Structure 1
Amino acid sequence: MAAQSASKVVLKSTTKMSLNEHFTNMLKNKQPMPVNSQATMQQQLQMENTPSVQAALKLKQTLSYLGVL
């Protein structure tokens, strides 16, 4: 087996801004996403109607009725 020589890789910087500065600036300049209340309500209603959520709500109601919760 031949011995491999270790080579050093040097990457030239393409920007004068560090990653930390870059992402800090991104967070500072982040625009808030507009909230569409009608779409949010529709998503909530769809979620409430899924079988797993219905089962959990029914279980909670039953446990509450029995005095466990």
Structure 2
Amino acid sequence: MAAQSAPKVVLKSTTKMSLNERFTNMLKNKQPMPVNIRATMQQQQLASARNRRLAQQMENRPSVQAALKLKQVAAW
């Protein structure tokens, strides 16, 4: 018994523009977002302060101090 193959489906293009052209045009027409430099710098400073506090907290943890001592002993 021969297997029947499904008929080939052909879809006709509904637009004359390819997806690549469409997205390229969208990128070209995109308006740049206004950047508030002062706000960006404030966010970076805030993040830096938070990271410093976190690093200090990690340094003070007993498990981290023990690991650092082990590393120093292993280095000698």
Calculate the TM-score normalised by the size of structure 2. Answer: 0.50
CA RMSD of aligned residues (A): 2.1
> Counterpart of 2:45?
45
Structure 1 runs (4+) greater than 4 angstroms displaced: none
Instruction: Find the aligned partners of 1:9 and 1:47 in 2 and give their Cα distance.
Output: 56
Specify every segment of 5 or more residues in structure 2 that has no aligned partner in the other structure, as ranges: 56-76
Q: Which is bigger in relative contact order (C-alpha 8 A, separation at least 6)?
A: 1
> How many pairs does the alignment contain?
51
Deviation at 1:20, TM superposition (A): 1.9
Structure 1 stretches lacking a partner, 5+ long: 56-69
Match of 2:11 in 1: 11
Q: Secondary structure of 1:35's match?
A: coil
Q: Distance in 2 between matches of 1:4 and 1:34?
A: 60
Which has a greater percent of helix?
2
Q: TM-score, normalised by structure 1?
A: 0.53
- Aligned identity (percent) is 76
